[in-house]
Amino acid sequence: MDSKHSALNARKQQATPRGVGVMCQWYAEKAENATIWDAEGNQFIDFAGGIAVLNTGHRHPKIIAAVTEQLTKFTHTAYQVVPYESYISLAERINERAPIEGAAKTSFFSTGAEAVENAVKIARAHTGRHGIVTFGNGFHGRSFMTMAMTGKTAPYKRDFGVMPAGVFHARYPVESKGVTVNDAIQSVEDIFAEDIAAHDVAAIVLEPVQGEGGFNVVPAEFLTRLRALCDQHGILIIADEVQSGFARTGKLFAMDHYETKADLITMAKSLGGGFPISAVVGRVDVMDAPNPGGLGGTYAGNPIAVAAAHAVIDVIESEGLCDRANELGTELVAVLNTIKASSNVVTDIRALGSMVAVELETADQAKAIQNYAMQNGLLILTCGRYGNVIRFLYPLTIPTEQFREALAILKQGFATLTA
């Protein structure tokens, strides 16, 4: 390792706790669209996108222009003290676009976990109930409530003590893992029978495509049956689209792929194109349940991030990024199928638009591909319960040539593993 990075790693070790686990041993210097340069001038194709934040790429010129313009006006007032029009117009744009039944309202926050926390607060205020059902292998954040909701102990909950009460985990339907739609529905009914009466449940929270859990795509039949079950018991459905939202799946929201509607949808990550903003959109009657002062936060809906989010929506629509997500996803899946045909390590390929993942037999194999890719200038992430899934979160703005360059590295990586 070169000296600049070694020196930074030594300082990192001294100055920051190990609990912030860091994947790369190199440091970012600059980035543009799908490329990151490190502190030594090496360049990487970014297939991680800052963990699903950069569907519009690094520093998209239109986002930078919007942010720069906002910087010349004001950077912070605290919306709850002095409001600004851009917050309202962003809410209006999300309300028009989100797949919510009837009229919608939107409230802004800063992080994904905060959006999920607030969706739970809104659901509790609306129903007057406390219970929350989530799913095994789901991920919802690192705050206390979202930790409890997350369906994976290590590294997220381990050592952090007693979780908030009233959270129960059902099984997420993944047919290839032996969990059928019937099994998953039955697991919800088991919770109602064994842990908490349906009458006390405020909401069922699910990721339409599980992110950290391995890019498992929810079957339409499960959503239809879950909706019927929830309607029968007066329970709300919250779709956590923090990772799947904003064109990644080939539609603005993953829920756009389904006829079933959620009552509330959480979003963050690619909404801000690199600036911290999150949101909850939902049915008007549900969103209006909390009393004034119950929602918000000092930085919630910060004007810089709001300006970025407006530009993100403009870019997604003017550059046709939903279609692009489908094109790129189709090409990647074709390459993965070719790899699978000649490889004995690939066990599954899952995709919705450009939310694409390939599952390997073991975490070591996934790590080996990740290391090979990194050594050859391609940054990729793993995920899944056992860390044996490689997920792809490239900018949807990536030039075709660079995308194919990355796929070639990936193919070589698999070839070395199979050889």
Ligand X SMILES: Cc1ncc(COP(=O)(O)O)c(C=O)c1O
Instruction: Tell me which residues touch ligand X (CB under 6 A).
Output: 51, 111-113, 116, 139-141, 207, 211-212, 240, 242-243, 268
For ligand X, the closer of residues 207 and 359 by Cβ is 207
For ligand X, the closer of residues 377 and 387 by Cβ is 387
Least Cβ distance, residue 216 to ligand X (angstroms)? 12
| 182/179 Cα distance (integer angstroms) | 8
CA 365 to chain centre: 24
Least Cβ distance, residue 119 to ligand X (angstroms)? 10
Least Cβ distance, residue 240 to ligand X (angstroms)? 5
Least Cβ distance, residue 40 to ligand X (angstroms)? 29
For ligand X, the closer of residues 48 and 321 by Cβ is 48
**Number of C-beta neighbours around residue 12 at 10 A:** 14
Least Cβ distance, residue 109 to ligand X (angstroms)? 9
Mapped to the 3 state alphabet, what secondary structure does 124-189 carry? HHHHCCCEEEEECCCCCCCCHHHHHHCCCCCCCCCCCCCCCCCEEEECCCEHHHCECHHHHHHHHH
For ligand X, the closer of residues 111 and 397 by Cβ is 111
Output the residue with the shortest Cβ distance to ligand X: 112
For ligand X, the closer of residues 48 and 113 by Cβ is 113
Which distant-in-sequence residues (6+ apart) come within 8 Å of 362 by Cβ? 345, 386, 388
The verdict on whether omega for the bond into residue 155 sits within 30 degrees of 0, i.e. cis, is: yes
Least Cβ distance, residue 139 to ligand X (angstroms)? 5
Which distant-in-sequence residues (6+ apart) come within 8 Å of 344 by Cβ? 418
For ligand X, the closer of residues 56 and 365 by Cβ is 56
For ligand X, the closer of residues 207 and 263 by Cβ is 207
Asked if 108 and 87 touch (Cβ cutoff 8 Å), the reply is: yes
| 314/397 Cα distance (integer angstroms) | 13
Least Cβ distance, residue 344 to ligand X (angstroms)? 31
DSSP line for 2-20: -HHHHHHHHHHHHHS-TTS
